[in-house]
Amino acid sequence: MKLTDYQEIRALLSLHGFHFTKSLGQNFLTAAWVPDKIAEAAAPNRSTGVLEIGPGIGCLTVPLSRLAGRVVSVELDRRLMPVLSQTLAGCENVEVVFGDALKMDLQALVEEEFLSRGLQPVVCANLPYNITSPILTKLTEMKCFANITVMIQQEVARRICASAGESDYSAFGILMQWRTVPELLFDVSPSCFVPQPKVTSTVIRLGLRETPPAEVQDEKLFFTVVRAAFNQRRKTLVNALSSQIPGVSRETVAKALETLGLDGQIRGEALAVKDFAQLSNLLSKQ
Ligand code: SAM
């Protein structure tokens, strides 16, 4: 069965009385090259355990199962249970777990399914776009994956990879760059899905870092500074930080910027990740 063939998808879904739910980000792939290329980009082998979020009808699960040692796919929509039983019938190394990937204890799942079997965990998924930020935050926090290869909205992918001074630069991008080395791989047009989304998608790979790109004395304060800078991104850093971080005065920020050789009128969006690290280190000493 060809799981990316539009007619076959329609016939399969109508057989099981399934209708797409927009709020679950259900845009299924209809271009065969896409799941094959995503699976190859994740580069799993027989020693790899792949965690997939949102298998849908299984079009990415099948090529992953061919390459990996084991695949565990977490799907929220239980209406897909009979569909996946049919489409994944021949895939002995695949386990489908029904539940919400945001609420599930993924660490326990990875330990039981992969680590206890000596498999190196990675993530590969065509993510439901409405959960992109929280699920990537959760997956990168776990520190057990070698890499995470996912298709997400192009706009979010660019935000994750943006550097200081670029309009897409953001607090979420800095969080991702703090934990991973992100890489844009390729774009996928809306015409490759049913139903078609309004936006272009991009496949990215996040290589998990063993240590952050800069040293900070207080990681919590580092992220407080980053968030405060981007909450009020049109304000100068002196104004943005002193108005949002209790106990941090205009003078303290101005002095720290001077010590770092940075302009007193600078905005947060112009600061590189390592500058934010140095700034938060100076503020932590106050
Ligand atoms: N992998 C399929 C493909 O590429 O055609 C489907 C991808 S579709 C973009 C996203 C899938 O994620 C849907 O099957 C949806 O039901 C599922 N999903 C949505 N929210 C979820 C959640 N919180 N946890 C697990 N799966 C979820």
Least Cα distance to 185 among 37, 66, 58, 27 occurs for 37
pTM: 0.96
Percent of the chain with pLDDT over 90: 98
pLDDT band, residue 286 (cuts 50/70/90): confident
**Ligand 1 within 6 A of 100 CB?**
yes
Range 219-285 classified under CATH 2.30.40.10: no
Protein residue with its CA nearest to atom 12 in ligand 1: 54
Domain locations in the chain?
Answer: 6-208, 219-285
pLDDT in tens, 9-43: 999 999 999 999 999 999 999 999 999 999 999 99
Q: State the virtual CA torsion across 244, 245, 247, 249 in degrees, nearest 10.
A: -60
Query: What separation in Å is there between the alpha carbon of 158 and the centre of ligand 1?
Result: 21
pLDDT in tens, 49-101: 999 999 999 999 999 999 999 999 999 999 999 999 999 999 999 999 999 99
Give 15: exposed, middle or buried? Use CB within 10 Å, 0-12, 13-18, 19+.
exposed
Tokens 């101005």 -> residue: 254
Ligand 1: which of 20, 65, 76, 123 to mutate, most ligand atoms within 8 Å of CB?
76
**From CA 211, how far away is CA 179, in angstroms rounded?**
8
Both tokens of 16, joined, read 């099981």
pLDDT of residue 285 exceeding 90, the answer is no
pLDDT band, residue 240 (cuts 50/70/90): very high
Q: Which CATH number fits domain 6-208: 3.30.10.20, 3.40.50.150, 3.10.580.10, 3.40.50.720?
A: 3.40.50.150
